[in-house]
Structure 1
Amino acid sequence: MNAGISGLALQRAAAEGRKALVAYYPVGYPDVPGSLDVLRALCGEGDEPGADLIEIGLPYSDPVMDGVVIQRAGTRALERGVRTCDVFAAVETVASTGTTPVVMTYWNLVDRYGVDAFARDLRSAGGAGLITPDLVPDEASDWFAASDAHGLDRIFLVSPSSSDERIAATAAACRGWLYATAVMGVTGTREQSSSMAPDLVASIRALAPEVLVGVGLGISNGDQAAAVAQFADAAIVGSAFVKQVLNAEEAGDASDLTGLRTLLSDLVAGVRR
Structure 2
Amino acid sequence: MSANLEIKWSGKRFPVEFSSTKELEQTTVKQLKQICERITGVSPKDMKINAFGALMNNDDMPLSVYGLRPGCYVTLKVTKHKKSASREEKPHHHHGKHHHKEAPNNKQTSHGPPPPLPNRPTPTASAPAQSSPAQPAPAATSSSELQGEAILLDQLQKIQDKIDKDITPQVRKYEKTVKEFLNQPTKTDKEKKKQIYMGAYLGEQLMHVLFDLDGFTCGPDNLNARQARKEAVKSAQSLLDTVDEIKAVVKNVAVIDPKEE
Q: TM-score range by the shorter chain?
A: under 0.3
Q: TM-score, normalised by structure 2?
A: 0.22
Structure with the greater relative contact order (CA < 8 A, sep ≥ 6): 1 or 2? 1
**TM-score, structure 1 as length reference:** 0.21
- Higher helix fraction (1 or 2): 2
Q: Which has the larger radius of gyration?
A: 2
- Which structure is higher in strand share? 1
